[in-house]
Amino acid sequence: MKKKPLSGVKVLDLTRLLPGPMCTLHLADMGADVIKIEELSIGDYARLMPPMQNKNSVFFHAVNRNKRSIAIDLTREEGRLLFLKLSETADIIVESFRPGVVNKLGIDYETLKKNNPKLIYCSITGYGQTGPYRDKAGHDINYCAYTGVLDRKEEQPFIPNFQIADVVGGSLNAAMGILAALVQQKMTGEGQYIDVSIMDGILAHATPALAQVDHGEHGFLTGALPCYSIYETSDKKFMALGALEFKFWERFCKAINRADLVIFHMVAEEQAQKVFAEVSAIFESNTQQFWTDKFKDIDCCVSPILTLKESLDNEQVKARNMVQIKNYPDEGEVLQFGLPLKFSSFEFKVEMPAPLLGEHTQQELLAIGYSEIEIKQLRETKIIL
């Protein structure tokens, strides 16, 4: 079997909750050896987020599979020195503390690169390491609020059903930066520091909205066009229509026996409201299943709006192996998503469940030269778990 793309890459993961762990999840799934560095008491807070699987939460399992765990007290000098030794063997460190915390702990990039100049050090924070918001607390809803993501023109803003800013602005941007730095590291032997701001990351991907910001077309792809909108069905479910290209709109109109609407493709304001009323009445005349069946073989970008549970049973999702169910002795059946990338060199699989807190402490410390007596002493003095 061929090696995975990131085989041989070692990552020390100081992050918790969602943005950082989702980033390192992708690295782990692609073959990196990701070691979670956790505090002694509860470790990553996500371990206890309901609902619980058994020993770990369902959410923790979803973003921490294929990783290992070491529990260290980084606030004590012995723990800091242990981490420094670990960092000498690492390719990548990812952290998500507030700005300045790693400096207080003595595990910042400038300190660690002295003994490991090839080190890639990525900091993921809400607002970045600079600027007036640098030290502000925040969560996904705040980053979305600041960047216009929640804006609904004259409508009541609503919260998306997953954390767009955390994942797009944080996890994926961090992974992209780390992989770019890794390529440069392999070519030059040098590492670097990466400052990831979740707010920056979500703003930078709002390009369709940016294109319209000064042109009076706010909402162009958020419901202002009849050809790109959501329509309710007779059973109080919904269909999504995405006929942006004229050919799709033409096919849609002919499929609903309304060829007279073809000329009203890209319309706005009063004309748009008339088309909305006509198309809405048509969709409301029958059930979601009826419309799903009707448009199944018509290529015009019409799809049912599914719940997540329905999506897990969707034929396309199944065909792409995007649902993974693993049975573990201590946890039972664990439901997770698959890797959203398909490589020709390897077939993805979940090789390890999310680790117990400190499960691999002894194993990793032995690997970097600590003796069993030294490890026992560190455990007795509560430097490690």
Sheet with 192-197, strands from edge to edge, namely: 67-71, 33-38, 10-13, 92-95, 120-125, 192-197
Distance from C-alpha of 224 to C-alpha of 269, rounded to nearest angstrom: 8
Among the listed residues 264, 156, 277, 273, the one whose alpha carbon sits nearest the alpha carbon of residue 224: 273
79 within 8 A of 71, measured Cβ to Cβ: no
Strand partners, 125: 197
Question: pTM to 2 decimals?
Answer: 0.94
| pLDDT of 336 above 70 | yes
Q: Indicate the DSSP class of residue 169.
A: I
Distance from C-alpha of 1 to C-alpha of 85, rounded to nearest angstrom: 32
pLDDT at residue 222, as a whole number: 82
User: How many percent of the chain have pLDDT more than 90?
Assistant: 88
Please state the rounded mean pLDDT for residues 35-59. Answer: 95
Structure tokens belonging to residue 276? 């909305």
Q: How many CB atoms lie within 10 A of CB 217?
A: 14
Structure tokens belonging to residue 335? 């439901």
| Range with lowest mean pLDDT among 63-72, 205-214, 248-257, 373-382 | 205-214
- Three-state DSSP at 114 gives coil
Active site residue 166: yes
Q: Which domains does the chain have, with CATH numbers?
A: 10-206+324-380 (3.40.50.10540), 238-304 (no CATH)
Structure tokens belonging to residue 203? 């703003």
pLDDT at residue 220, as a whole number: 73
Please state the rounded mean pLDDT for residues 125-136. Answer: 98
Q: How confident is the model at residue 165 (pLDDT cuts 50, 70, 90)?
A: very high
Q: How confident is the model at residue 146 (pLDDT cuts 50, 70, 90)?
A: very high
pLDDT at residue 215, as a whole number: 63
Residue 326, phi then psi, degrees to nearest 5: -115, 145
Distance from C-alpha of 117 to C-alpha of 115, rounded to nearest angstrom: 6
| pLDDT of 23 above 60 | yes
300 within 8 A of 248, measured Cβ to Cβ: yes
Among the listed residues 125, 126, 127, 129, the one whose alpha carbon sits nearest the alpha carbon of residue 110: 129
Q: Which of 73, 108, 140, 166 is catalytic?
A: 166
> pLDDT by residue (tens digit) across 112-125?
999 999 999 999 99
Among the listed residues 177, 155, 204, 216, the one whose alpha carbon sits nearest the alpha carbon of residue 94: 177
Identity of the residue numbered 305:
I
> pLDDT by residue (tens digit) across 216-274?
555 678 888 999 999 999 999 999 999 999 999 999 999 999 999 999 999 988 999 99
Structure tokens belonging to residue 289? 């299943």
Among the listed residues 12, 4, 66, the one whose alpha carbon sits nearest the alpha carbon of residue 30: 4
pLDDT at residue 155, as a whole number: 75
Please state the rounded mean pLDDT for residues 170-187. Answer: 98
> pLDDT by residue (tens digit) across 77-89?
999 999 999 999 9
pLDDT at residue 226, as a whole number: 96
Q: Compute the C-alpha angle 62/66/68, nearest 5°.
A: 110
The mean pLDDT value of the chain amounts to: 95
pLDDT at residue 384, as a whole number: 97
pLDDT at residue 330, as a whole number: 84
| pLDDT of 180 above 90 | yes
pLDDT at residue 218, as a whole number: 53
| pLDDT of 167 above 70 | yes
Identify the burial level of 290 via C-beta atoms within 10 angstroms of its C-beta, where 0-12 means exposed, 13-18 middle and 19 or more buried. middle
Among the listed residues 364, 373, 300, the one whose alpha carbon sits nearest the alpha carbon of residue 82: 364
| pLDDT of 289 above 70 | yes
Please state the rounded mean pLDDT for residues 126-130. Answer: 98
User: How many percent of the chain have pLDDT more than 70?
Assistant: 98
Helix axes 173-188, 19-29, angle to 10 degrees: 50
Distance from C-alpha of 124 to C-alpha of 199, rounded to nearest angstrom: 10
